[in-house]
Amino acid sequence: MTLPLSPDKIPQHIAIIMDGNGRWAQSRGLPRLAGHRAGTENLRRIITACVEFGIKYLTIYAFSTENWGRPKSEVRGLMRILEDVIDRELDELHKQGVQLRHIGRLEHLKPSLQKKVRKAIEITQHNDRLVLNVAFNYGGRDEIVHAVQGIIADRVPAEEVTPELISRYLYTAGTPDPDLIIRTSGELRISNFLIWQSAYSEWYVTPTYWPDFNEEELRKALEEFARRDRRFGKIYTPS
């Protein structure tokens, strides 16, 4: 029997590096895009599971600023997937109370796709069961450069630059830092993902490829998180 997870041990914000789609496909003799499609179906299940677990923020790494270096057909395929997800899933996500946000540089995507993303954000802006941040054309270093540019453009005096101010200039402004970052497929790297926000995040890495990371695997990650002792650099002495 699986025991319910105590609500006070559920992370408020989970971020996921959905890695291993290519290897999942390769191991079945399928093209890489079939892996991304299977990964997209899995994402649907995991979003629903997050809503059910009472997670408030989910950030997913769907396309990095470095992914432009992949073969053109794969880049086109990933753009198409983003488009399809909005076309096919928006109504259902809206019904589930999911608020869609985008983090990264939208301006480099084709105008019709930018419009679609903006519309989806507008339609779901008042939903509050789960905030889904889609990191698409996102890079952590790029995000910091963008924040510094904004701070300079706003002529913020040097002495007013604090960690809190920098957080307010990031794409994730208004979203709490991730409590838990999950990376599938066993790689032990940060890959330019939420490099500022992850300062005190707990990491959970599993060898499972993303398309196979199901609700049970998510539960395991949450159980492991519930056992972690988070000290944020401090020590706790009994009072």
User: Nearer to ligand FPP by C-beta: 11 or 39?
Assistant: 39
Phi-psi region at 137: left, alpha or beta (left = phi > 0; alpha = psi -120 to 50)? left
Residue from 131, 37, 122, 138 nearest 88 by CA: 37
DSSP 108: G
Which CB, 38 or 147, lies closer to ligand FPP? 38
Q: Which residues bind ligand FPP (CB under 6 A)?
A: 18-23, 36, 39-40, 43, 62, 67, 81-82, 85, 134, 136, 185, 210
DSSP letter at 98 equals E
130-138 and 202-206 strand pairing: unpaired
Measured distance CA(23)–CA(19) in Å, rounded: 9
- Residue 154 is among the residues annotated as catalytic for this protein: no
Nearer to ligand FPP by Cβ, of 102 and 147: the residue is 102
Distance between CA atoms of residues 50 and 11, nearest Å: 10
Q: How far apart are CA 2 and CA 136, in angstroms?
A: 35
Residue whose C-alpha is closest to residue 133's, from 117, 112, 113? 117
**Strand 57-64 versus strand 202-206 pairing type:** unpaired
Q: Whose Cβ is closer to ligand FPP: residue 27's or residue 149's?
A: 27
**Would you call 67 exposed, middle or buried from its count of C-beta atoms within 10 A (0-12, 13-18, 19+)?**
middle
Is 19 a known active-site residue? Answer: yes
Min separation Cβ 192 and ligand FPP, Å: 12
Question: Given the complex with ligand FPP, which of 111 and 157 has the nearer CB atom?
Answer: 111
Candidates 207, 86, 205, 71; CA nearest to 136 is 86
Kindly state the smallest distance separating residue 183's Cβ from ligand FPP, in Å.
Answer: 10
Identify the active-site residue in 8, 19, 84, 179.
Answer: 19
Residue with the shortest CB distance to ligand FPP: 22
> Active site residue: 67, 127, 177, 192, which one?
67
Residues designated as active site = 19, 67
